[in-house]
Amino acid sequence: MEAFWLKHYPPGVPAEVELHEFASLRDILLRSCQRFGELPAYSNMGTSMTYAELDRSSREFAAYLQRTLGLRKGDRVAIMMPNLLQYPVVLFAVLRAGLVVVNVNPQYTVPELEHQLKDSGASAIVVLENFAHTLQEVLEKNPTLNLAVITTEVGDMLPVVKELVTNVVVKYVKHMVPAWKIAGATEFNAGLRAGRGQELEEVPLSHDDMAFLQYTGGTTGVAKGAVLTHGNLIANVQQMTAWMARDLVDGKEVFVCPLPLYHVYALTSCLVFMKMGAHTVLVTNPRDMKAYIHDLKKYPFTIIIGVNTLYRALLDAPEFAEVDTRALKLTSAGGMAVQRVVAERWKQRTGVTIIEGYGLTETSPVVMASPLDIAEWTGTIGLPIPSTQAAILDDDGHELAVGEVGEICVRGPQVMLRYWNRPDETNKVFTHDGWLRTGDMGFVDERGYFRITDRKKDMIVVSGFKVFPNQIEDAVALPPGVPVLKGVRFAAPAGTTTALPLPPRRISRPCPICATCTNCSTRRSVKRTCANCVTSYADCGGTRPAQPCRTRFSWWAVRAPAPRSLTKPWPPHHSSSISAGKSLNSGTAYMARSTTAGIPRRPAPSMHGRNIAMPPSAISTSAWAQAGSSTRPAST
């Protein structure tokens, strides 16, 4: 596909970037530490670390990994912790030592952690001791797993008195550290001390050397490691720097990072802004809205990243009205679609437009982004960034015309080398001529802006027409007070009817309609009775079972294309999104949660962890919007 989108690049953004300015990520770190030595590099929990201190601490820990643990180039080191000052120290120490970073979600269950450690072949792990009990179970189940364990506490990088108080409170007052015991585990600070008197070997590194083994579900399937090289990450850092260079100033920016660094979106953002000499404010727990807003008040931030639910939570928090956003230059969103209402509210509150981008773990991650000079939210995933090719292909690999819906495919220097030890999966996602199949369906308009319709495998076929779950979700989300949608997949012969149980949710007051009900305060179920309407009935056993259960929340179901019996129960704590089958023998029930009662709930991510938008051929949303415009379901 001809790169006709280049005509719509902002002034000063090049078509290609210089990929060989740096030989490795280590070179980027060392140059930033030299240029911005006395400037703050990272802050967390009220404590700051300068670039010079980052240089020193990462060098010491890198020497410990090489000399004391005996790790050699290419060995994998897992990092299992939230955003703390220890994270960048360990991250850059691993890279400086010529090792490979394996980012691990600290919320992993025992089977998930076990799979990742065994699959990656990690030689060492640095874990926050709040999660050491999970690691202990993995090691007990796998006594042959040869793993050096370094544990850290929340306050380990804080000043001495604050470190002591913080660690005591976390462990003995808040009881946030379950009991654990791992023989031979080393304390993080002991590792730093051990590395101070040892020499760091400067391992030769090039673009072809592996930097990260970043685990992902991929475009489909179970978690697998995407092999991201130094060249991949350098390319994406250079691409995003070129995209933003006109609006940002080296050594002057304050970047707020509420997303976890083990996620590739936050990880690459961290690298980009470190190259610029920005002051990065790490937010450990953005769900603690009080502490998060306290950080926003403390620092005159110029850049902030997030996801739709996080921006919405900020806007809904009364304290956010007290935050000074006059210095804000850039608001970036990824990971999920930004709802129009959230984008408009953010622009009204801050005066800054949310810039959306698109990417995958397999692409380091950014391949497309909206220009920074857009005046209003566009609902697109933007233009391909410099040195990136993009095309819409059909199932046979043929390129489709402008406006036609097909699979979004990309090529560029930021695209992963392969999946780790999974040649079969690698062959599935790459075409014979090097295109990476993203698994996202979409189209490109005449200006070169790409839009996503939905995931390739989530189409519902209704009377020969393709309907995307995202279209229904967007329509039901239009009315005020409907911030979250959830769905489950089910399949059965058409015409059957069954009750769809929803996960238990306790409330603190009885149902105002069926006050005598003793059941609806902890459980609700939805009965689907008609294939052509939006309806919901509470089966709560109260005095008025034919009425919708209107406690703190109202629920309604949108069915497509016909009622089916439930074959897969709703996971009890599942907050991921809508999925649907591809044929007439499958459909999706959508539960829209209304918060018109004014009680906030825990935000949940949207559909597929990717940005999504309506195609030109989208079904009319007026009927769905009308049906969902009230907290009371439409009558049958």
Structure tokens at 138: 């993995």
**Helix boundaries (H) for 301-448:** 308-316, 340-350, 423-429
What does the pLDDT look like over 433-489, one tens digit per residue?
Answer: 999 999 999 999 999 999 998 777 665 544 334 445 555 555 566 566 665 555 555
Is 437 inside a domain boundary? no
d(CA 317, CA 322): 10
> Does residue 53 have a pLDDT over 70?
yes
Beta bridge partners of 495: none
Q: What is the pLDDT of residues 377-430, one digit of tens each?
A: 888 999 999 999 999 999 999 999 999 999 999 999 999 999 999 999 999 999
The H or E element containing residue 160 is helix 160-168
Question: What six digits make up the tokens of 148?
Answer: 């050096």
Whether residue 231 has pLDDT greater than 80: yes
What strands lie across the sheet with 587-593, from one edge to the other?
Answer: 484-490, 587-593, 555-560
H or E stretch at 369: strand 366-369
Note whether residue 238 is domain-resident: no
* Predicted pLDDT of residue 247: 85
Is the model's pLDDT at 26 over the cut of 90?
yes
Q: What is the DSSP string of 456-504?
A: GGG-EEETTEEE-HHHHHHHHT-STT--EEEEEEE---TT---EEEPPP
Range of the domain at 624: 459-636
> Is 473 contained in some domain?
yes
Whether residue 58 lies inside any domain: the answer is no
- The model's pTM is 0.76
**Nearest-CA neighbor of 81 among 125, 137, 29?**
125
Does residue 629 form part of some domain? yes
Strand, coil or helix: 532: coil
| Residue 200 C-beta-side C-alpha neighbours within 13 Å | 25
Q: Give the count of domains, the chain.
A: 1
Give the separation between CA 196 and CA 63, rounded to whole angstroms.
Answer: 8
499: amino acid identity, one letter: A
Give the DSSP letter string of 555-585. EEEEEESS-----SPPPTT--------SSTT
pLDDT tens for 239-280 read 999 999 888 999 999 999 999 999 999 999 999 999 999 999
Here the tokens at position 281 are 């404010």
pLDDT in tens, 475-521: 566 566 665 555 555 554 554 444 334 444 333 333 333 333 333 33
Task: Answer whether residue 421 is part of any domain.
Answer: no
Q: Are 76 and 273 in contact (CB under 8 A)?
A: no
Q: Is 262 among the domain residues? A: no
Separation in Å, CA 295 to CA 19, 349, 541, 567: 35, 18, 47, 46
With 50 as the cut, is the pLDDT of residue 630 above it? no
Which tokens sit at 19? 């990929």
How many H-runs (helices) and E-runs (strands) does the chain carry?
Answer: 15, 28
The answer to the question of residue 475 being in a domain is: yes
Contact 485, 590 (CB under 8 A): yes
Question: Could you give the residue ranges of the DSSP H alpha helices within 264-307?
Answer: 264-275, 289-298
